[in-house]
Structure 1
Amino acid sequence: MGYRRSAWIMAGVLLGATSWVNATAPEMPPSLRWDASTLGNHRYLVQVDAPAAAVHVVIPWRRRDAHPEQVAVVVTDPSGKPVGNVLRGNIDRASGELVFQAAQAGVYAIYYQPYVSVGRSNYPTVTYATPKDSAEAAWSRKIGSGAQAWAKLPQASVLRYEAVDDFDAYTGMERTATPAQVQALLAAHPSESLLLFPETRANPVRMFDSIPESWAQRGAGGSLSERALRGEYLSFQIGAWAPRGKVDNLRVEFSDLVGAEGARIPASAFTVLNLGGVDSIGKPFSLRVDVAQGRVQPLWMGLDVPASAKADVYRGEVTIAADGVAAQKVPLLITVGEGQAVAHGDDDPFKLTRMRWLNSTLAQDDSLVKPFTAISVNGPTLGILGRDVKLAASGLPAQITSAFDERMTGFAKQPTALLAAPMRLVVQDGTGDHALDASGVAKMQRDGPGKVHWQVAGSAGPLQGEVKASLEADGTLTYAIALTAKQATTLRDIRLEIPLNHDVAKYQLGLGRQGDRAPAAFDWKWNVQNNQDGAWIGTVNAGLAFHLRDEHYLRPLNTNFYHQQPLRMPLSWDNQGQGGIRLRSQPNAYLAEAFSGPRTMKAGETLRYDIVMRVTPFKTINPAEHFSERYFHKYGDLDAIKAEGANVVNIHHATPINPWINYPFLEAGAMRAYVDAAHQRGMRVKIYDTVRELSDRAPELPMLESLGHEVISAGKGGGFSWLQEHLDGDYIAAWHVPENRDAAVINAGQSRWHNYYIEGLDWLARNVGIDGLYLDDVAYDRTTMKRVRKVLEARRPHPLIDLHSASQYNPRDGYINSALLYMELFPYIDRLWFGEEFDYEKTSPAYWLTEISGIPYGLMGEMLQNDGNPWRGMLFGMTNRLGWSPGSDPRGLWKLWDGFGIAQAEMIGWWVHDTPVKTDRDDVLATSYVRKGKKTLIALASWAPEKTAVKLSIDWHALGLSASKVTLVAPAVDGFQPQATFKPGDAVPVEPGKGWLLVVE
């Protein structure tokens, strides 16, 4: 078992406990030993030798919960029936005193943390039962009370502690020291303000407000002895306890390790993960670690044993100091064996070698990702895939052009100009308007084929301006604009002007508006209740998203948790609620104007007016590939899945080969076998894996707790029982799967766990062979998404990444559009699944186009909520997924597609100005799938409120067909349409909310 949790349990429950058990800990079967939902997860077994009116027992439970006296105890007899006559004596963290009626001899069970779970099963609210007096009054009087009366009673003997399963069991590191033991330890160290306790990786520190009994028994200090292979990353920890007062600014130094024959492992091979590392964007950082009075701070350390190290016993030391605290040395004795570790030992997660992944910089570079091309630089004009950005002297865009055509499958001869005039950053004071200007754009600096950056210094009236900006190959423009007052000044406004051409500004989403036609006039103000800092405005083949920020921006939490880490209002743009955005349709332009309102600035004061812009679309769509990939979204028999017509399988969590949410490493062998079997059948397998939450099954969880809230978000705790019983209480409870008792906590928005995630995907692609990811909402940013794409492309041929999102447009999520929230990720994914709570029935075609389909951004998508609307979906090339629910059955459409040959057709959407098939109504739309000269598939869908009939206007020349030689046939498709035939010019009846698929040949 190595360092698997069950090994920790078996060793841990008995650690230093020979005085309180009379039997060894039992083998824990995989099934539940009792009904935890009524009795809780923990019990002690006690032996009663003979029937008695009452027996007395003291349970040495050494509990970690703060108030055991407030939690009920349930006693059951040898048959499992509850005992009613129970009296509680002294109940504290050290022990629990009970008297209970024993009608028969045998083994009695004492359950000491019974709980009640209410609410939604996937987000349970677990509360612990409070004590109730169930004893009969006459029995209680007869037994009496007090130590003298109870001392005369027969004594039950404690046999052992048991847990409902080995995962729920308390480890030895969760067995608290008694007050007497703590006092004895302190007496042995009367003047020390910081006590150190070395621990191997096999015993992760789990408590932060108490010390374990094992520490009190063995005493502070001592050495750390551990074994490792050559090339292994050896993790270990030193617990730092501040019993008498706060200890500030822990510092750690290592010596070289020296072998018996003089071989050395340099001190540089050590790391201290709590004191810093490399963040998720590749920048080194350091952390200050303070220890509050009474708290325990584990310092997790790692030794990267060189692969060339000589097998030997190495000795060295680690020195730990703090402000005002004398340095203490902990001797290290590391035995390096003859064997060679494979991949640093990473193939076994329980060895905790993967903690070095937290500081990984894998794929952290400016190389290209398919299909993007190297950025070209031609004076002030920067060229990227399908788009050009021409810079003004201010460093802001003077013009942006898009060469994507309306079909979104290629490029037009004449590019579309997005801007009616150059963008301007304007400072307004009492003397008028002053646009940020400079003598010219500084020379471009190339960071790599995928990124260039530039810097401009200029002025805007009373303010000095410095612009630092970059463009990446996907179309992301990032501006850090610092405006500094030359002297004290009073301003009327600082604003950004984005004048768009009218033919580009057709649609708009964001700022509290769902995707629709761009409004003639709209006003918006900052509000922390809403996750809104910008908008997207555009048409299918040309658009611009923009977000307003400052240097303090931190990505908010999403998916029900926005309000626990909301948007930080930018001090510059928000200006204490005076800032906002105006959208105005003007004679010469559609103006998006971000203003910040009046303010005063002191001499030398600097404000950051940062902007992130994204030029859309990011890439072309590939309908042929899209229609060839047939999804089955459920774990199942591969032969049966293939027989249904699917060739890509999405493996969710809570399945046999991927049981634990966002931790897909513990059944890697089974997953590999399944993936290999799929590949043998010409199928691909993608897995559910993201970083929004983390399963409690992750062996690294204790270490992540030691990082404070770098990785695990702060919160009110609660949730499923395991979280409450084994975590420190400051977390946000997340998704729970009751079937396998998997519980998760919410991760912070940006952290080093993203580095771990990237390394984990690389490991899965190399060792398991996964073909991609199914992302169920995402808590990471574009930088991490790029890295995801890079590692998968480096390891797997044509990896697939899908993004599913429930609609975030609700008060829980701050009324953010999912498309806008995740647009930064769109360049690096292949397909959208938008998703639960999206409205497919009462929304407009513009909503479908901009919020659901993905087409204006270079993506295609699928439907989910209530199995979607298949008629409207076909206007955008969308259907639902097989296997998810009984209603999700696209097999009839797949059969029609294959019979028609849709993968060989050109998709021409209803939004294309010269689409060859149109209807005579604005509320019944047509998209054509054209196999020119052969046949065409016409998708019709209605938004009309009643049954109607439409006539089709068909450009027969564009189809390569003759009206006199064709018929329009609707093949029968179960659940979609009956068989029907129409002639050119016939009125086609259309039911409200439905439509047709007509084959013209």
Structure 2
Amino acid sequence: MKHQETLSIMAGVLLGLTVCGSLNAANGAAPTLRWNADQLGNHRYLVQVAKPADAVHVVIPWRRRDAHPEQVNVIVTGPDGQAVANVRRGTIDRSSGELVFQASKAGTYAVYYQPYVNAGRANYPTVTYAEVRDTADPAWAQKVGTDAGAWRRLPSATLLNYEAVDDFDAYTAMERTATPTEMQALLKAHAGQRLWIFPETRANPIRMFDALPESWAKRGPGGSLRDSALPGEYLSFQFGAWAPVGNVDNLQVSFGDLRDAQGDVLPAGAFTCFNLGGIDYAGQPFTTRVDVAAGRVQPLWMGLDVPATAKPGVYRGEVTVTAAGVAAQRVPVEITVGNGKAVAHGDDDPFKLTRLRWLNSTLAQDDELVKPFTAITVRGDTLGILGRDIALAANGLPEQISSRFDERMTSIADRATTMLAAPIAFTVEDATGTHPLSSAGHPAVQQDGPARVHWQVAGNAGPLQAEVKASLEADGTLTYAIALTATQATTLKDVRLTMPLANKVARYQLGLGRQGDAAPDDFQWKWNVENNQDGAWLGTVNAGLEFHLRDEHYLRPLNTNFYHQQPLRMPVSWDNHGQGGVRLHREGNDYRVEAYGGPRQMAAGETLHYDVVLRVTPFKTIEPAKHFANRYFHGNQDVDAVKADGASVVNIHHASAINPWINYPFLEVDAMRAYVDAAHQRGIKVKIYDTVRELSDRAPELPMLESLGHEVISSGKGGGFSWLQEHMNGDYIAAWHVPQNRDASVINAGQSRWHNYYIEGLDWLARNVGIDGLYLDDVAYDRTTMKRVRKVLQARRPDPLIDLHSANQYNERDGHNSSTLLYMELFPYLDRLWFGEYFDYEKTSPAYWLTEMSGIPYGLMGEMLQNDGNPWRGMLFGMTRRSREGGAKDSDLHALWKLWDSFGIEQSDMVGWWVHDTPVKTGRDDVLVTSYVRKGDATLIALASWAPQATKVKLTIDWTALGLKPGKVTLVAPALEGFQPAAAFKPDDAIPVEPGKGWLIMVK
């Protein structure tokens, strides 16, 4: 709050005017607008007319940052708020605008100078700035004329002040451009200087990269940086680097110690320049080259980690900026360290920008275990993980993979399912034949921690030298980097990876452009950058294998509406200019998956990288009791109402009162904490919407992130909502917008240091607010970050919950990818799926439900969303729809919850229709049954139809498995609103089933 007030006050001081109005938009509440921005724009000057006049003259010193003000309309309104028709434009440029208008009344007139037209979808607006319109009466216009000298002799309107529609939209002092006259004087005074440095505190974030602000032009380059901090505080600051006459390359920053009069030191090692590198999202150090193009401004953001032991005093020293062929610029720095001690480095106030240090965080970047996974065991060449074993061949590839998950997916059995019909093979083919990847010895497995091991193998594949670097993690992820090097010029016919799955395992398949269903007997797939496809999953419920084909240049594509703006990088090795692909073929006892690269030439010394990621499923068992006990409410509703509703978990979405800004949940923490505390007192858990796909324009860090180029903010064509166009520099992708609180956002890169910030932010929220988990919406990060998310939440909260919601990604916009395959790498660390908008619950098969939506083959359970799903089919998988604020009547869902409780579903064993010895069957493939068994007590039968017409089915019941006697039971379908009427059946009755519907039948 103080930061926002400072910006507004500074802008007013520089103008000699006043910026006034509510700060609601800065603190998270719905903004109170001074006028209708969609009609008039966000900015105006008020002018005073002393008495009526046929024409008055005014010059507005707006110092605009938009490139072509002369092309944008100006609207003048009178004291009554009505538009003045008779307006003539004089000289219009970035510095100022000259106007003559008719003033029929004395009073205050408003000049709106960036009116826009808001079109497009409400959540993806297309804002264009209004073109110049001449509304003046021709006779009046002729009378006024165009003579500038004559205009100056007209009565003058008195300039009062600048205003924005709200304080968040107001231009800051750093966005008021220098005039050409000021720039000429500045360049003349510093002629020949190629690199100019302008120190600024964190209170004045540099916003413009193509122009200098008025304040810099007036004060000139150089000077010193003065600021203050407390011991233990992280102090952020910035230098603006400007190249006025030519490119300046390879900027470097060096720091010296700061010393006070007593010789106490703030050490040089406590400084950081974020623009020059740091620690990436995977925990690896990196450096960045920074060049400044001619005429451009490059902010250099830095930080000083003031030691907690620092003594009060004034510390002085220098920061030096150098560049290729340019004289070093030394900037004096003076930091006053005050009395006391900073709380949490100052992180509790986001506007202090102390949290920038989070960008280089390595929190939870380790090889420790995440529940429920167990430490990897190494027994010779066999590696053991939760419910699965991987036996390695001499070449380091899997010789056999086995799963001990049972078909019910609720336990791990002693008996294993072997997944491979033969070892996985990697072969090179040339004119002399086929050469398998071979090694003289066996892989020596090294333990990195309980959750990770790695190994390395050197060998050959025919004429090529081979090096295999591989790792296994406790969740079942195998990562292979296979490098092939030619010692001499070589002609290859093919390079292949062959994965022969057992026929009994290769039951279902999704990926490679196919949605989940029965695995095809024959299938061919080719690489295509238009599609977000590089792999597949094949398997059955309790044993499966996911694979992805990549190379060393892999970068996670953007997803959910934005795939084509950062698509998949075609792997040079596997794609091979479109010659590579994948073949699936069922024959005999195996199902052969063959990835091939096709013919190519390799030059002497050339290396190709055939990277492969494998994941062995399931990742963990399902937990039906926990699933049914956690009943969700979506919305920021009063916690007593949530309790009365029967829910036990609340998902707080963005655009709510306590979480108003998308993916930046730090500006209403007092209200959020109060809500969480109240919920906890009533035994209710609270989860919040927070991910990294897009970032709200309300984030105070946004100007700094923009200074990092496209490390964090994705490159794009700009546009979108007005705030983005008016306060950013044009190279971004406009993303989600919430009209009711004017929250706009930009798309983030798929892998960046913002993930480090995100992890620290979740840790802060868990410690300081007490959130119990996350509701994720189409995640834009990979499993590296997902593991860290799980770790920080597990460390801070008992039994945290993480849900993933996804819209269906199988469309042209998203590259025809399966949502399940897209996010499968995250599944080990999730608790529930919400799949989701645009999923079809009516025209898809049971296999699709099982593999694409339920999550069960991977160790998860899910819920439904689109049009509330299909409640009958949903119960086969333990899936229901949402209970939500402002949604449809929930009495039917509550009735279902009450039935669960009266039956005791949390104490039952869930036996799905996919289990070979399921105790209740219909004898049909299109009418299926899942049984919830309380052996010896009662069973709840969930029956659902995929038959195209009404039908009747007779149930085949294994009474021994149910622990019941057929002569002493009743089959009762209780009345459930929106689900079924009351009915009773005998064990041998033919039960009528409507198409697309079903029954819940109590047997006891």
Instruction: Give 2:515's aligned residue.
Output: 514
| 1:579 counterpart letter in structure 2 | G
Instruction: Give 1:234's aligned residue.
Output: 235
Q: Is residue 231–residue 306 contact of structure 2 (8 Å, CA) maintained in 1?
A: yes
Q: Is residue 253–residue 321 contact of structure 2 (8 Å, CA) maintained in 1?
A: yes
Matched residues in 2 for 1:704 and 1:698: separation? Answer: 10
| 1:815 counterpart letter in structure 2 | H
Instruction: Give 2:401's aligned residue.
Output: 400
Residue 887 (structure 1) shift: 5.3
Matched residues in 2 for 1:487 and 1:161: separation? Answer: 72
Alignment of 1:434-449 (within 5 A): 434-449=435-450
Instruction: Give 1:996's aligned residue.
Output: 999
Q: Is residue 15–residue 214 contact of structure 1 (8 Å, CA) maintained in 2?
A: no
Matched residues in 1 for 2:416 and 2:19: separation? Answer: 74
Instruction: Give 2:145's aligned residue.
Output: 144
Q: Is residue 6–residue 167 contact of structure 1 (8 Å, CA) maintained in 2?
A: no
Secondary structure of the 2:884 match is coil
Residue 776 (structure 1) shift: 0.5
Alignment of 1:912-927 (within 5 A): 912-927=915-930
Q: Is residue 23–residue 168 contact of structure 2 (8 Å, CA) maintained in 1?
A: no
Deviations along 1:613-651, one digit per CA (max 9) or x if unpaired, are 000000001000100001001110110110010010000
Deviations along 1:186-209, one digit per CA (max 9) or x if unpaired, are 111111001110000000000000
Matched, 1:289 2:290: yes
Secondary structure of the 1:294 match is coil
Instruction: Give 2:784's aligned residue.
Output: 783
Matched residues in 2 for 1:118 and 1:319: separation? Answer: 48
Instruction: Give 2:477's aligned residue.
Output: 476
Aligned CA RMSD, in angstroms, stands at: 0.8
Instruction: Give 2:28's aligned residue.
Output: none
Instruction: Give 2:8's aligned residue.
Output: 9
Deviations along 1:109-167, one digit per CA (max 9) or x if unpaired, are 00000001111100000000000111111001111211122122111111110000000
Residue 883 (structure 1) shift: 1.2
Residue 604 (structure 1) shift: 1.4
Instruction: Give 1:811's aligned residue.
Output: 812
| 2:997 counterpart letter in structure 1 | K
Of 931, 934, 944, which residue of structure 2 is paired with 1:931?
A: 934
Residue 920 (structure 1) shift: 2.4
Of 944, 948, 952, which residue of structure 2 is paired with 1:945?
A: 948
Matched residues in 2 for 1:588 and 1:878: separation? Answer: 35
Of 8, 26, 31, which residue of structure 1 is paired with 2:20?
A: 26
Alignment of 1:457-476 (within 5 A): 457-476=458-477
Deviations along 1:401-423, one digit per CA (max 9) or x if unpaired, are 00000000001231000000000
Instruction: Give 2:958's aligned residue.
Output: 955
Matched residues in 1 for 2:419 and 2:316: separation? Answer: 67
Secondary structure of the 2:735 match is strand
Instruction: Give 1:321's aligned residue.
Output: 322
Matched residues in 1 for 2:417 and 2:441: separation? Answer: 26
Residue 28 (structure 1) shift: 3.5
Q: Is residue 395–residue 443 contact of structure 2 (8 Å, CA) maintained in 1?
A: no
Matched, 1:970 2:968: no
Instruction: Give 2:728's aligned residue.
Output: 727
Instruction: Give 1:576's aligned residue.
Output: 577
Deviations along 1:901-946, one digit per CA (max 9) or x if unpaired, are 0000000000000000000221000000000000000000000000
| 2:514 counterpart letter in structure 1 | R
Matched residues in 2 for 1:898 and 1:400: separation? Answer: 40
Alignment of 1:253-332 (within 5 A): 253-332=254-333
Any unmatched runs of 5+ in structure 2? 25-31
The runs of at least 4 aligned residues of structure 1 exceeding 2 Å deviation read: 14-18, 24-30
Residue 29 (structure 1) shift: 6.1
| 2:5 counterpart letter in structure 1 | S
Secondary structure of the 2:100 match is strand
Residue 6 (structure 1) shift: 3.3
Instruction: Give 1:894's aligned residue.
Output: 897
Matched residues in 2 for 1:261 and 1:463: separation? Answer: 66
Instruction: Give 1:54's aligned residue.
Output: 55
Alignment of 1:752-791 (within 5 A): 752-791=753-792
Instruction: Give 1:987's aligned residue.
Output: 990
| 1:751 counterpart letter in structure 2 | S
Residue 794 (structure 1) shift: 0.2
Residue 15 (structure 1) shift: 4.2
Give aligned pairs, total.
995
Q: Is residue 541–residue 857 contact of structure 2 (8 Å, CA) maintained in 1?
A: yes
Q: Is residue 481–residue 610 contact of structure 2 (8 Å, CA) maintained in 1?
A: yes
Deviations along 1:934-966, one digit per CA (max 9) or x if unpaired, are 000000000000000000000000000001001
Matched residues in 1 for 2:166 and 2:783: separation? Answer: 40
Residue 694 (structure 1) shift: 0.1
Residue 994 (structure 1) shift: 0.3
Secondary structure of the 1:682 match is coil
Q: Is residue 418–residue 542 contact of structure 1 (8 Å, CA) maintained in 2?
A: yes
Residue 487 (structure 1) shift: 1.6
Instruction: Give 1:167's aligned residue.
Output: 168
Instruction: Give 2:595's aligned residue.
Output: 594
Matched residues in 1 for 2:893 and 2:14: separation? Answer: 61
Q: Is residue 507–residue 538 contact of structure 2 (8 Å, CA) maintained in 1?
A: yes
Deviations along 1:25-66, one digit per CA (max 9) or x if unpaired, are 324464110000100000000111111000010000000000
Matched residues in 2 for 1:632 and 1:909: separation? Answer: 26
| 2:946 counterpart letter in structure 1 | W
Instruction: Give 2:834's aligned residue.
Output: 833
Describe the shift of the 1:1000–1:349 C-alpha distance in structure 2 as closer, same or farther (beyond 3 A): same
Deviations along 1:212-252, one digit per CA (max 9) or x if unpaired, are 00001111100000000000000000000111111000011
| 2:995 counterpart letter in structure 1 | P
Residue 897 (structure 1) shift: 0.4
Matched residues in 1 for 2:993 and 2:889: separation? Answer: 22
| 1:295 counterpart letter in structure 2 | R
| 2:701 counterpart letter in structure 1 | E
Mean Cα deviation higher: 94-103 or 597-606: 597-606
Instruction: Give 1:90's aligned residue.
Output: 91
Matched residues in 2 for 1:877 and 1:661: separation? Answer: 30
- TM (norm. structure 2) is 0.99
Instruction: Give 1:385's aligned residue.
Output: 386
Secondary structure of the 1:742 match is coil
Q: Is residue 381–residue 443 contact of structure 2 (8 Å, CA) maintained in 1?
A: no
Q: Is residue 392–residue 440 contact of structure 1 (8 Å, CA) maintained in 2?
A: no
Secondary structure of the 1:334 match is strand
Q: Is residue 831–residue 859 contact of structure 1 (8 Å, CA) maintained in 2?
A: yes
Q: Is residue 74–residue 112 contact of structure 2 (8 Å, CA) maintained in 1?
A: yes
| 1:213 counterpart letter in structure 2 | E
Q: Is residue 511–residue 536 contact of structure 2 (8 Å, CA) maintained in 1?
A: yes
Matched residues in 2 for 1:28 and 1:957: separation? Answer: 71
Matched residues in 1 for 2:302 and 2:113: separation? Answer: 36
Secondary structure of the 1:124 match is strand
Matched residues in 1 for 2:412 and 2:709: separation? Answer: 50
Residue 693 (structure 1) shift: 0.1
| 2:992 counterpart letter in structure 1 | P
Residue 300 (structure 1) shift: 0.3
Seq. identity, %: 74
Q: Is residue 123–residue 735 contact of structure 1 (8 Å, CA) maintained in 2?
A: yes
Matched, 1:566 2:564: no
Instruction: Give 1:63's aligned residue.
Output: 64
